[in-house]
Amino acid sequence: MLPLVRSQQACIERIRSAVRWAKRLVVLVGAPGQGKSTVAEALVLRSPVNPLRLEGELISDRTDAVLRLMGLVGLRPEGTDIEMLARLQHKQPAGTEHGVPEVIVDDAHCLPNDVLQLFHELSSGAYGRRWSVLLVGEETLVSRLQALKPKPALSSTILLPRWDQHDLEEACAKLYPTTDVSMRAPRLLQLYAIHPKQLLRAVAEEDPASTVDMLSEHDDEASSVLRIAPSIVIAIGIAMAALVAVLIFVQMDNEDSRAVKPTTIPLTPNKQ
Q: Tell whether 57 and 136 lie within a shared domain.
A: yes
Looking at residue 216, its pLDDT comes to 46
Q: Tell whether 78 and 174 lie within a shared domain.
A: no
Q: Pairing relation of β-strands 103-106 and 133-137?
A: parallel
pLDDT in tens, 21-46: 876 789 999 998 898 988 999 998 87
The 8-class DSSP code of residue 90 comes to: T
Residues linked to residue 133 through DSSP beta bridges, in sequence order? 103
Q: Tell whether 15 and 125 lie within a shared domain.
A: yes
pLDDT in tens, 95-149: 677 888 999 999 999 999 999 999 999 988 888 888 899 999 999 999 999 888 8
Q: How many domains does the chain have?
A: 2
Q: Tell whether 100 and 176 lie within a shared domain.
A: no
Q: What angle separates helix 6-21 from helix 165-175, to the nearest 10 degrees?
A: 110
The residue from 152, 184, 206 where one domain ends is: 206
Looking at residue 210, its pLDDT comes to 42
Q: Tell whether 130 and 91 lie within a shared domain.
A: yes
Question: What is the span of the domain harbouring residue 50?
Answer: 6-161
| Reported pTM | 0.72
The residue from 126, 145, 161 where one domain ends is: 161
